[in-house]
Structures are given as structure tokens and as C-alpha cells.
């Protein structure tokens, strides 16, 4: 998915360029100049312009920051990373959900010219090993647990040297570039529904360092001054996002400051609200969609972003929209269906909501209609970009998704590859053979079936 190239826009048809054979090419509005600076520079401008405006809220952690406070937090994180030795081009791995440390690290990396590697907390041990070797992370920040997974035990499977390494001086055979592994223990981490996972006592592992203790270390104004003089360029990379692509093997996609800034800026321009944007973000930050609609929309539009929780729930999302008077919400189609089916939907006032953004997959027409009607929206944006799907563009400039080149299953915006599911199932001793296919689903677009 590439948000920088919105193909479907509900309220505005695409304009077909003159003297170009149809349906091979479509051209949007080119009158708006692109931003040609860095995320750090634009963030500094936003902090100067809106110092007392609320910038970010993390409901599960009971944390909220104004732009002034957010700037101070980002400065502290960036300074301590700089003193640790993190420099331009170094990779900082984020293995976590929607928690405040990841948000701060993303902006701190931008200020340093470092690159945030957005690692999915859903990764199994072999997947995390693959991702870390692919990105050559210098620093890794993890949460202790994810749902029922003990992330510390997962780490020890692929880097047992942590048990004998010194803090911030790791020597890991499989990951020669990795020198520091931090654990960010936040409110809510390890909680999933009514089950609370008690992860490994990571504080007894010598190679692991508490992230909050680390960023609380004193730093000098000389360090802050040195950071302000770093030569970060718009074309420098800012994040590495993992996408399933269309071939079945997760790919590490590198985005630059210019790419992410303009994806956020242009997406924000499509959104029509009265007053400044207050955006409810239930989608994960480790997806490109979540990155653009959270940290960077704060930078480009002076928006307030509100995270209902570390993991998505319809109840928390509805409560967040109501409590924080959000006028924009982002999500994939099935999230909105889930919210409409929740008992709290009709009992919670969503009068502040003006726009819903749908991405991750092509939203079904029936779902679009129901979202607009039941949420009583002024606007719905379906942003569906370059995904490798086969599409048709008609004479009016409307795009219709008709097929995919591969047998990938798209369920609620998530890419599922039959081969991976088949491989997992065949490891069961009572299963001799299996074939996984996708079947049409009314709300989820597709569901996984097996035979």
C-alpha cells in the first residue's frame, strides 16, 4: 500500500490527463507544491506555532502531551540516543504496538537522521530474526509481551547472548550491528482482554536495558546543539516498513522524509473538517497507514492524534471518539463494521465525527454506504494505492479493482498467504495434506478457507 498515490477518492473523481491514452494513466491535482524539507524541521515549526495545543494522547497509558511537552520528550529521547552513539543512517528497531515510546522514537529518529525500522509485534522468532538481519538494526526497543506472546523469551530464542551481555554493549553473533536492546514497559503492556500475561523477569537479563531509565539520563545542551546542526536531508530515509507485498515474502520498504511528509500532507489535505484535526488512530503504527496517519500528521497539520489503545477494540475506539471529540477516524473497512455491530455503537454519541478514512484494501460499496449512513459522516475517504492489484480506470476517472496477480488473501486489510498457512498446518502430526484458499466474505472482503 502506498498512501502517497491515492487512486480512489470518494468525493473527487480523478482527472484524466489530456493527450494520454486511456486507461493507462491518471493525473491528480499538481497545483499543490510538495514539502521539500525534513520531518525534524516541520516538527520544530509545528511546535513553535502550536506550543499549547494538544499533540498526542495515549488513552491506555493515560498520557497526553501538548506540542511543547512533546518537543521536550522528543528532545530527551534524541539526546540520549545521540549520546549512545546513534547517528545518521543508523537503524532503530521498534518492536511494539501503539505505545508512547514508539511514537517518541519515531520523531527522535527523524531529528537525528536515523531510520526507524517498524517491526511487527506479530512476528514469530524466525520472522523477527529475518527482519533484524535484513535491516541491520543498531538499537532495538521492545515491549515485554504481545497478547499471549512473551516477547522476552522470543528475543532469547534468537539472541541467547543477551543473558551474558553487558547493558548497551551487546555482542550478538547473528546481529553484529546490534549494540543495545531496550525494554519499554508501559501501562497496559501484557494485557489482552481479561488475561494478563506475566512475561519473563527481563530485569534479571544483563543485556536488556530499561528504556525509561535510559531516556531519563541527564544530557547536555551541547548535545542538543550538536543535534540541531546535523545535516539531515529530505531524501534521507526515515523509516523501514514491512509489507507482505504480492509474492508472499515480507519486504522491507524504505521511505524518505520527503515521501512520508508529503504522504501525510496530501492525505491531510483531502480531509475536510471544521477546526483543527483531532484524529482517532486505532490502526497500528507499525503499518505504513498508521505511521502516516499518526506521528507525521501531527507534524504536517498540527493535528491532535488520539490512540484508543495498544491493540484495536471497537469499544475503545467508540469511547475515544466520544470522549476526545475526534472529528476524524482512520481504519480499514472491517474495523468500521465491527464498530457498527458493537452494542455501544448506538449508545455512544459520535456527533463530533466528520470524516472517516478507509485504507488497507478496497472498501466494498455496501460497507462504504453503511459507514457514511450510520456514522452520519460529511466525508469518507477511501485511499487505496499501489498494491499490485489489477484495476480498470474508466473515462470518468474512477478506478475499479478487479483482480490480483497472486493468490494472496486479503482479510480486513491484512495480507494472508496460503503457502504460509499451509506450511504451518502441515506441521501438525494429524494433518497429512492441506490446501488453503480464500472465499468471499460479506464484510471482511475475504476469509480463509481450507480443504
Report pLDDT for 37: 96
Residue 403: which pLDDT band, with cuts at 50, 70 and 90?
Answer: low
**Position 245 pLDDT exceeds 60:** no
Say yes or no to pLDDT of 382 above 90. no
Residue, of 1 and 393, whose pLDDT is higher: 393
This prediction's pTM: 0.82
pLDDT band at 423 (very low <50, low <70, confident <90, very high): low
Q: Concatenate the DSSP letters of all residues of 59-115 into one string.
A: TTTTEEEEHHHHHHHHHHHHHHHHHHT--TT-EEEEE-SS-HHHHHHHHHHHHHT-E
Secondary structure of the chain: what % helix, strand, coil (to 5)?
Answer: 35, 25, 45
What's the pLDDT score for residue 431? 74
Query: Is residue 238 very low, low, confident or very high in pLDDT (cuts 50, 70, 90)?
Result: very high
pLDDT band of 3, cuts 50, 70, 90: very low
9-21 pLDDT, tens digit each: 333 333 444 444 5
Band of the pLDDT at 155, cuts 50, 70, 90? Answer: very high
Q: Give the residue carrying C-alpha cell 525509561.
A: 212
On the question of pLDDT at 323 being above 60, the answer is yes
Q: How far from chain centre, in Å, is Cα 179?
A: 25
Q: Is the pLDDT of residue 421 over 80?
A: no
The CATH superfamily assigned to 404-450 is ANL, C-terminal domain (3.30.300.30)
Of 54-68, 341-355, 402-416, the range with the lowest mean pLDDT is: 402-416
**Helix (H, G, I), strand (E, B), or coil: what is residue 286?**
coil
CATH 3.60.21.10 fits 64-252, yes or no: no
In whole angstroms, what is the distance from residue 428 CA to residue 177 CA?
36
- Using 50, 70 and 90 to split pLDDT, how confident is the model at 294? confident
pLDDT of res. 51 = 98
- pLDDT of res. 285: 94
Which ranges constitute the DSSP H helices of 277-429?
288-293, 295-301, 314-323, 333-341, 365-375, 418-426
pLDDT digits (tens, 9 = 90+) for 40-70: 999 999 999 999 999 999 999 999 999 999 9
What is the rounded distance in angstroms from the CA atom of residue 325 to the CA atom of residue 11? 24
List of residues 6+ apart from 105 with CB closer than 8 A? 77, 92, 94, 116, 141
Percent of the chain with pLDDT over 90: 60
Give Cα 9 to chain centroid, integer Å. Answer: 21
Q: Where are the domains of the chain?
A: 64-252, 404-450
Amino acid at each position: 500500500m502506498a498512501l502517497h498515490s491515492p487512486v480512489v477518492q470518494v468525493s473527487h473523481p480523478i482527472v484524466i490527463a489530456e493527450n494520454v491514452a486511456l486507461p493507462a494513466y491518471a493525473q491528480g491535482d499538481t497545483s499543490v507544491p510538495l514539502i521539500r524539507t525534513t520531518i525534524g524541521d516541520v516538527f520544530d515549526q509545528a511546535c513553535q506555532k502550536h506550543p499549547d495545543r494538544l499533540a498526542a494522547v495515549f488513552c491506555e497509558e493515560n498520557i497526553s502531551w501538548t506540542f511543547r511537552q512533546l518537543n521536550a520528550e522528543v528532545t530527551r529521547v534524541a539526546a540520549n540516543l545521540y549520546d549512545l552513539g546513534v547517528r545518521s543512517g543508523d537503524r532503530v528497531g521498534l518492536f511494539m504496538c501503539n505505545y508512547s515510546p514508539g511514537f517518541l522514537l519515531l520523531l527522535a529518529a527523524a531529528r537525528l537522521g536515523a531510520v526507524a525500522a517498524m517491526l511487527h509485534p506479530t512476528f514469530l522468532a524466525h520472522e523477527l530474526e529475518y527482519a533484524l538481519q535484513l535491516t541491520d538494526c543498531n538499537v532495538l526497543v521492545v515491549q515485554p509481551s504481545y497478547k499471549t506472546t512473551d516477547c522476552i523469551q522470543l528475543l532469547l530464542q534468537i539472541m541467547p547472548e543477551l543473558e551474558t551481555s553487558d547493558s548497551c554493549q551487546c555482542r550478538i553473533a547473528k546481529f553484529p550491528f546490534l549494540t543495545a536492546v531496550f525494554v519499554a514497559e508501559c501501562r497496559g503492556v501484557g494485557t489482552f482482554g481479561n488475561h494478563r500475561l506475566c512475561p519473563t523477569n527481563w530485569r534479571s537479563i544483563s543485556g536488556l536495558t530499561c528504556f525509561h531509565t535510559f531516556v531519563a539520563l541527564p544530557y547536555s545542551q551541547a548535545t542538543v546543539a550538536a543535534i540541531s546542526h546535523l545535516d539531515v536531508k529530505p531524501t534521507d530515509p526515515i523509516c523501514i516498513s514491512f509489507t507482505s507485498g504480492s509474492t508472499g515474502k515480507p519486504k522491507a520498504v524504505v521511505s524518505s522524509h520527503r515521501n512520508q511528509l508529503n504522504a501525510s500532507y496530501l492525505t491531510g489535505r483531502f480531509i475536510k473538517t471544521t477546526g483543527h484535526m483531532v484524529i482517532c488512530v486505532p490502526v497500528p503504527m507499525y503499518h505504513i497507514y498508521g505511521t502516516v496517519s499518526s506521528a507525521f500528521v501531527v507534524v504536517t497539520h498540527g493535528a491532535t492524534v488520539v490512540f484508543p489503545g495498544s491493540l484495536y477494540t471497537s469499544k475503545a475506539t467508540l469511547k475515544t471518539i466520544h470522549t476526545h471529540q475526534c472529528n476524524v477516524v482512520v481504519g480499514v473497512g472491517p474495523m468500521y463494521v465491527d464498530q457498527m455491530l458493537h452494542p455501544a455503537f448506538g449508545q455512544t454519541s459520535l456527533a463530533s465525527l466528520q470524516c472517516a478514512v478507509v485504507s488497507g484494501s478496497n472498501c466494498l460499496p455496501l460497507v462504504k454506504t453503511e459507514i457514511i449512513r450510520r456514522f452520519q459522516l460529511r466525508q469518507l475517504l477511501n485511499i487505496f494505492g499501489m498494491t499490485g492489484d489489477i484495476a480498470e480506470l474508466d473515462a470518468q476517472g474512477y478506478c475499479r479493482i478487479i483482480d490480483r496477480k497472486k493468490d494472496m488473501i486479503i482479510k480486513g486489510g491484512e495480507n494472508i498467504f496460503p503457502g504460509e498457512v499451509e506450511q504451518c498446518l502441515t506441521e501438525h502430526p494429524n494433518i497429512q495434506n492441506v490446501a488453503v484458499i480464500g472465499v468471499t466474505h460479506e464484510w471482511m472482503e475475504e476469509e480463509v478457507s481450507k480443504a
